[in-house]
Amino acid sequence: MMRRGAINYTLETRLNKLDFKNISKLCRMLDIGHKWKEFVCVVRSPYDPDTPRYTMEHVGMFEFEGNKPGRSPTQCIIEDLNTVNVTLKNLKSWLLEIKHFQAVQWLVRDVLKEPFDQESLEQPSWGSSGGPHVRLHPGPAETPVQQERYQAASNEPSQTDSSIIRSMVPPTPPHTEEVLYSSQSEQQSHPTTSASTDTIQSNSISSSSISTFSLLHEVPPDGSDNNMVGNHESKLSHFPVAMETSGNFPVEQDESTVPGSRRNFSYEKLQIMTNDFNDLPLEQKGNLIGRGGFGSVYLGRREGLEDLAVKRLTEDKAAVEKLYKTELEILLRCTHENILTLRGYSEDGPQFCLVYQYMVNGSLEDRLACKNCTPPLSLDTRVGIVTGTARGLDYLHGVQRSVHRDVKSANILLDENFQAKVGDFGFARQGPVDGKTSLKTEMVIGTNVYMAPEAWDFKISEKLDSYAFGVILLEILTGLPAFDSNREESGLPSHVEDVSDNDTTQFKEMLDPKIPEWPDEVVDLYFNISQACLQLNKRKRATINKVLLDLEKLAHNVPSLPMDGTMKQSMV
């Protein structure tokens, strides 16, 4: 009789349903003798069996991460495979292909609970490396030390993996689907407060490959994605979840802070961190950081570990599912110091949650307004924020081929060093390709004052983000809010045009007086860039890439200016 709660595994069972005990056993068997290096070479995309899933760069990342305390290369591979539709049938096929018959025997006899006939092992269905039948032979023995540390007995890679790896091609970046809904109130100024995290960009990964191994998310060619969101169980199952209560992995290890790692938090744990999502503001000893049109952000406190920011989306899961999925897809594949990076996510509760590092300096919008009596941003800090924001958007446009569509000062987050992080990717969309200059959408998305004219014609291109960047530059220079209903011209671009007639000399009368002395080089360049970004004709509007080149040229020409956004805030 089956034990209550036990899973009846079959070949069609998803790999991410495998329990901790069996995952640990698999890790030990593949780590010994570096068999994982052969295994990673035969893993194929579940959506295209002819396409290898991994590149040589991924192998290096698995090895690097696997050498960390409490980690193993196979564990890292399993974490990734848990994010796609890999079944035990696929696992068996790959184990047969590398002729790891000890592991095949374990899978068939101990996991599937089926009779094991070593004379009739089937050849792998996703590739072949031998005759029609193979015979079982003993695998390498495990020593107690090897079992404890998950370390390999040999440092020499096999001849097999080097030849296969050289033929690998990078995986195709995932497709970001359209967001088909918005609200009229959301298109007014809605200062959604997010949070971000410091990231480390790996120099070993080419820009054309997916740069984080823990969740190398793919979408099938037909655009469907049954693995992301649907029946509200954890579709993005992440191996460290099991480590909270089991095995040799330390319970208190904060794996969510490892670059490239995203942790699947339970909703119950997030409730504990946020004091049951306490809606009192931080200044009133509560946990609420801010609210947006589709959710609220809370401070998550953890004893002995870093604080986190938890974005809980609105209660209607069906309504925000696509928003959640879009932001998750974007953030899973982005690795850049000026792009928001996930600490984790949660899908098992009544509401979707996204978890980020707590950004102690809040949003650019709040800091320019000196909210909660914070000191004004210094000139150096503003210059660093401008350059950092441009770098983040240039990465999004150039490497990820995506358009943010809701760039605004409320979505530029500042870490402890006032480094800018572009966040809130719920409305992001894959940009035009194949020489096209724009795409059509079914819904107008954005915040009014930051929206380019063509956005109202349902057109999408990176020039939408350029226009919004021009508005942010005016905010940086003047210290004024982008929208103020008390002004005759409520939108900042129209207000600047009304007061200064877009003349640089007259505009200098509008500079933020909280900066005692504005260098002419900075004012002239920023104002000219803002005007180039705010061109009503999309074809004449500057690209972020061109803007970034000019900004970095300024930093080189004026040595006193910061090259990036990591400058400490100085007193004005």
Known catalytic membership, residue 31: no
What's the residue count for the chain?
572
Could you please report the per-residue DSSP string of 12-55?
TSBGGGS-HHHHHHHHHHHHGGGHHHHHHHH-EETTEEEEES--
> Is 311 known to sit in a ligand binding site?
yes
Total Cβ atoms within 10 A of residue 487:
15
| 489, 515, 532, 553: CA torsion to nearest 10 | -170
What gap in Å lies between CA 84 and CA 225, rounded to an integer?
9
Q: In angstroms, rounded to a whole number, what is the distance separating the alpha carbons of residues 362 and 371?
A: 10
Indicate which residue of 161, 225, 394, 406 is catalytic: 406
Query: What letter represents residue 468's amino acid?
Result: A
Token pair in block for residue 138: 């003993």
Burial annotation 333-365 (CB, 10 A radius, 16+ → b, else e): bbbbbbbbbbbbbbbbbebbbbbbbbbebbbbb
Question: Cα(first)–Cα(last) distance of the chain, in Å?
Answer: 74
Copy the structure tokens of residue 331.
Answer: 């953030």
Give bridge partners of residue 44 from the DSSP assignment. 52
* CA gap 105, 117 in Å, rounded: 9
The neighbour count for residue 118, using CB atoms within 10 Å, is: 14
Structure-token pair, residue 465: 């983000």
DSSP 510: G
Q: b/e string for 492-504 if b means 16 or more Cβ within 10 A?
A: bbebbbebbeeee
Cβ-count burial 243-269 (b if 16+ within 10 Å, e if not): bbeeeebeeebebbebbbbbbbbbeeb
The tokens describing 566, both together, are 């990591």
User: Kind of pairing, strands 263-264 and 342-346?
Assistant: parallel
> 110: Cβ–Cβ under 8 A, 6 or more apart, which residues?
22, 25
Count CA atoms closer than 13 A to 232's CA, side-chain side.
Answer: 10
Please tell me whether residue 494 adopts helix, strand or coil conformation: helix
Name beta bridge partners: 344: 263, 355
Which two tokens mark 122? 């089937």
Residue positions forming the annotated binding site: 311
* Active site positions, annotated: 406
Residue ranges for the binding site for ATP?
311
